[in-house]
Amino acid sequence: MSPLPKHQYDYDLLVIGGGSGGLGCARRAAQYGAKVGIIERTPVLGGTCVNVGCVPKKVMWHAADVREKMRAAVHYCQTPESTKLPEVDWLKLKEKRDGYITRLNGIYERNVKNDKVDYLKGTRRLTAEKIVIAVGGRPVLPEIEGAELGIDSDGFFALEALPRRVAVVGAGYIAVELAGIFHAMGAETHLIVRQNQPLRTFDSIIRDTLTDHMEHIGIPIHKHSQVIKLSTSEKGPYNLAKPFPKTIETSGGEKIEVDCVLFAIGRKPLSDLVGCDKAGVRLDSKGKRDRDSVIGLYGGVKDDKISYENIATVVFSHPPCATVGLTEEEAHEKYGKESIKVYQSKFKAMYYSMMPEEEKEPTGMKLVCWGPDEKIVGIHMIGLGTG
Nearest of 221, 228, 271 to residue 247 by alpha carbon: 228
Q: What is the pLDDT of residue 44?
A: 95
Q: How far apart are CA 329 and CA 27, in angstroms?
A: 41
Q: What is the pLDDT of residue 294?
A: 62
pLDDT, tens digit (0-9, with 9 covering 90-100), for 84-107: 888 999 999 999 999 999 999 999
Q: How far apart are CA 210 and CA 197, in angstroms?
A: 9
Nearest of 9, 17, 4 to residue 300 by alpha carbon: 17
Q: Is the predicted pLDDT of residue 140 greater than 70, yes or no?
A: yes
Q: What is the pLDDT of residue 182?
A: 99
Report the pLDDT averaged over residues 290-294.
Answer: 55
Q: Please give the model's pTM, rounded to 2 decimal places.
A: 0.92
Alpha helices in 217-269 (DSSP H): none
Contacts with 110 (C-beta within 8 Å, 6 or more apart), sequence order = none
Q: How far apart are CA 182 and CA 151, in angstroms?
A: 14
E strand segments, 134-285: 137-139, 165-169, 188-192, 221-222, 227-231, 246-250, 255-258, 260-263, 267-269
pLDDT, tens digit (0-9, with 9 covering 90-100), for 309-320: 899 999 999 999
Q: How far apart are CA 269 and CA 138, in angstroms?
A: 6
Report the pLDDT averaged over residues 304-327.
Answer: 92
Total number of residues shown for the chain = 387
pLDDT, tens digit (0-9, with 9 covering 90-100), for 41-72: 999 999 999 999 999 999 999 999 999 999 99
Helix (H/G/I), strand (E/B), else coil: 373: coil
Nearest of 240, 272, 299 to residue 138 by alpha carbon: 272
Q: What is the mean pLDDT of the chain?
A: 92
Report the pLDDT averaged over residues 136-155.
Answer: 97
What structural domains does the chain harbor? Answer: 6-135 (3.50.50.60), 139-263 (3.50.50.60), 313-382 (3.30.390.30)
Q: How far apart are CA 188 and CA 218, in angstroms?
A: 8
CA angle 101, 106, 111 (to 5 degrees): 125
Read off the pLDDT band of 281 (50, 70, 90): confident
